[in-house]
Structure 1
Amino acid sequence: MDVEVEVDRLYQLAPDAFVEARNELVKRLRGAGEREGADRVKELRRPTVPAWALNQLARQSPEGVAALAEVREALARAQRRLLSGVKDSGLREAMGKRREVVGRLTEDAGTVLLDSGRDPAPHRQAINATLEAAAVDLEAWEQVQRGRLGRELPMPSGFGDVTGLDLIAPETEPPTAAGEQEETGEAEALAGAEREIAAAREAVEG
């Protein structure tokens, strides 16, 4: 018996069917002499409704989840360029893409809930927070992409860690008033986006 395949099937089930199916799988694994697999499956917890919706979204729209990885990479590159003092870091464009992709996937997950007869409204913030986390953090993205979330992820506190990324040598052209204004605008855009995430985090936690 392929335990990984069976576990994937569990996470495709509706939340209210999860526990019974999990317990049945544990019995079958023990009957087959796979005690280690049975013990691991026994520890699995029923997904929350937001987590379940995102698990189904990962299966139904893998290209959408892949777009989150592209967003994360673009944000990391833009932040690195901004910290390096490179003009035209692309931060505004990357942040705009983040909002677009996260917003679209939040709506898609809501559609999953509607199709299952559930009201998405009470779960929208938790879904959005998880997608925001996946848009800036590799580990969070991997959890979403795998489609085995047990619960929603917390809203990120910022744009993720750029530790280990080499800074880029800044351009050597003399600064101009327009260039300085552009750099100031991008720094303000970064600060504004950080405030946006903080406000959303407060809304989720409050």
Structure 2
Amino acid sequence: MATRRPDTLARLYEAPLSDFIRERDAQVARLREAGRRDEALALKSVRKPGVPLWAVNHVARHHPESVSRFIDAVDRLRQAQLGRTGSTADHVKQERATLNELLDHARRALGDTGLRATDATLSRISATLLGAAADREARDDLRSGRLSEERAAPGFEVFSGERVTARPATRGNRRLELVKPAREQPAASAHRPESAPAKRRVGRQSEDGRVKRDAAPQPERAPVKRDIARAAGRREQAERRRLRELEREAARQERQADQATADAARLRERLVELDRRAGEARRAAERARQTARGIRPADR
């Protein structure tokens, strides 16, 4: 299948969202007239983006420096959470600041075109920005403003290499914490002689400690990890299902719009043909009237 030229796509993506299909079809017609049928066919397959995807691509094309700062901040946060650079908290603030900057640009772009920047729309814009920035294969499309589909926000595991486990349940709540490597304990000092009563006290304390430890709730690490993995899997599946539903709905609406455009074109052609026939009928009627009166057209 022929590839779509970047300049053709750039002109298409520059069009307002409401003009996307009309601009695409106009470009397809020009390509066909120029004999570039393969390119025309490839361009015709480009689907109209949803509002969040259009906003992301619009912001990327008009604010490339902001996008570059955001991608750099995502990279620095990844390195910090892997323990390779600086304070994680500082990098989180930088990543949030650059993301909010892009969301502000998106709000203004949507407002300028008469589109609503709802919370749901902004959430999908944020997820697409994060997902594309974290995916090295999607970054070029993000930078050039040519993402072809929305993205899911990356999970914690994308940035962090640490293990996740759970603290023992307290009052019915289970909190997650990062498990840090245990510090090595300093070597025991030289043994000092202990008296028999002291040894008995130590023995009782050790036994009491074992009893308390046995009675205390132990963290169920393996089940919790499985629960976390299953929850993440279910969340990802739900996001993918929702994305597929949105894509199907967008495709359905696009087909309806294409059908309406084709119907309108056929109707215009039909009206032109009817006007032509009506004109011929009027002229024929006039000639008939003149003949009936015995007047030739040349005598008039």
1:67 to 2:69 alignment: yes
Distance 1:58 1:139 in 2: 16
The Cα offsets for residues 154-199 of structure 1, whole Å up to 9 and x where unpaired, read as: 1212353799xxxxxxxxxx99xxxxxxxxxxxxxxxxxxxxxx8x
1:41 to 2:43 alignment: yes
- Name the residue aligned to 2:99: 102
| Rg (Cα) greater in structure | 2
Q: How many residues align?
A: 166
Q: How does 1:132-171 map to 2 (within 5 A)?
A: 132-158=130-156, 160=158
Runs (5+) with no aligned partner, structure 1: 164-173, 176-197
Runs (5+) with no aligned partner, structure 2: 162-182, 185-231, 243-300
Q: How does 1:14-53 map to 2 (within 5 A)?
A: 14-53=16-55
The Cα offsets for residues 101-144 of structure 1, whole Å up to 9 and x where unpaired, read as: 11221121111101111110141111111122234222333222
Structure 1 length-normalised TM: 0.69
Query: 1:161–1:91: structure 2 CA closer, same or farther, 3 Å change rule?
Result: closer
| Contact kept? 1:55, 1:148, Cα under 8 Å | yes
Structure 2 length-normalised TM: 0.49
Distance 1:103 1:74 in 2: 17
Q: Percent identity?
A: 32
Question: Which residue identity lines up with residue 118 of structure 1 in the other structure?
Answer: L
Distance 2:53 2:125 in 1: 7
Distance 1:162 1:141 in 2: 20
| Contact kept? 1:137, 1:160, Cα under 8 Å | no
- Name the residue aligned to 2:251: none
Distance 1:162 1:26 in 2: 46
The Cα offsets for residues 49-69 of structure 1, whole Å up to 9 and x where unpaired, read as: 111111111121110111122
Question: Which residue identity lines up with residue 11 of structure 1 in the other structure?
Answer: Y
RMSD over aligned Cα atoms: 3.0
Distance 2:100 2:112 in 1: 19
